[in-house]
Structure 1
Amino acid sequence: MKKNGVIILAVVCGIVLFAFAKAGFLQDKYYGVFIGISKEDGMKLNNYEVLVLEPTEFNKDDIKKLHEKNKKIYAYLNIGSLESYRQYYEKFKGKVLGNYENWKDEYWMDVSDKEWQNLVVDELGENIADKGFDGFFIDNCDVYYQFKDENIFNGLCSTLKGLQKYNLDIIINGGDTFVSKCIDEKIAKDMFDGVNQESVFTDIDFEHKTYNKKSIEEREYFTKYLKKVNSCGLKVFLLEYGADSKLKNEIERYCIENDFHWYNAKNIELR
């Protein structure tokens, strides 16, 4: 009887916890994106099992110490655009394709350029692997949406295939047009393990620097897209901005129902 009572109690507790989570009372602390955080603040992150960090802020010893508190750490790696503050900016600024809207210090990159691919794979990728990161958080595959050319698509594929040699997880941030094409061509799982989609439920007003609710039409597009991503066996993460308590509950329920994880950032600086 005692054993049965313990089992029943455990089941009841599980049901209660799930009900609370469904109601949005449990904040998902599994996943956090902090690519704008300083090293000092980054070393204080204790409550997340999965982190996304800017690799230039952390050395090998830092990652080792963070591993003692967090299970998995992804390194931010921008393969689709060139930032003016990177040390390699001067070398590659002549190969950009155009300005990046709302980001004045960033430019869309010609990812078909072999020299660029070599930089990303053999220098940036190797540095990240040597520091002990568990995976790559790949940004700006949206360059294929901006410049819908087969050379751009193939350049992204070549870069991602090159990064495979490090045997690290690869998460694609955004890039829905590129990811959808990869899924349709049945090559997605050969190149990456999951997707992080920004702003499924929230929206960023860059002009007024505020965060709003996504339109129903846009939200439906992304939820349909993420269902496609999930159905082919890829992991799904969401990155939202400034969701209020009511919207947080809605996002939490959606993620629980679909076995996704999400992070509610306070601002686009991701600190």
Structure 2
Amino acid sequence: MRPEKPLEPHPTLPDYYPDLAQRPAFVRGLFDRTARHYDRICQLMSFGSGNWYRRRALERAGLRPGMTVLDVATGTGLVARQALAIAGDPQAVIGLDVSAGMLAEVKRLLNIPLMQGLMEQLPVADACCDMVSMGYALRHVADLNTTFREFHRALRPGGVLLILEIARPATPLKRGVIKFYMGRVIPLLSRLTTGQQDTQTLMRYYWDTIENCVPPDAIIQAIRDAGFADAGCDVEFDLFRAYFGRKAGAAQS
């Protein structure tokens, strides 16, 4: 039975927008305005290790040449670039994002098919891809239940879901260190290195959504409720999480 009640990834954050109805416009506008600086900020935050981690996660999830990937919330194409390096065919990696600014950046960097649209209403046919990937955008959807059902619809039988995210560490010491680094240091460095106030707001918001996000167990259960088998989560350093699931049926060879 499908869940009736929407599952929001986090509550309303009044420091950024007054109510839930204003959140989509706030998020879209913030990403539009910071798109040209996004890669630099991500490199700064991850000490340059992000590309290695993304590629390894895709390989562990089973991505291989000949498969078609729908990269949802593609941003500037950070996950899509690694998917392309594995899949090999530019037409086999499709990027989707709600932000026109982000899509303009990825179009400048990658020659792959691109679409503008919502994660909760994917503008794609049923069973159109072998993998749905999403990198660090789970916290920006309106309803996890609806979003995961859409991901399930887009996958072919045997297809794989991979969602990369960051979650609050379980131990107080780690949580305090990460909060200081991601909630204060990175926002300040983002503004200083780009000269743009919006980048500081973006990274403050980034951490605040992490700190207020629903727990990993709720996310895994929502993936199961959407119809996925073998739903689970790989955890590294008590911080990085790779959620996964598989659509029932035999994968196409």
Question: What TM bracket, shorter-length normalisation?
Answer: 0.3 to 0.5
Higher-Rg structure is 1
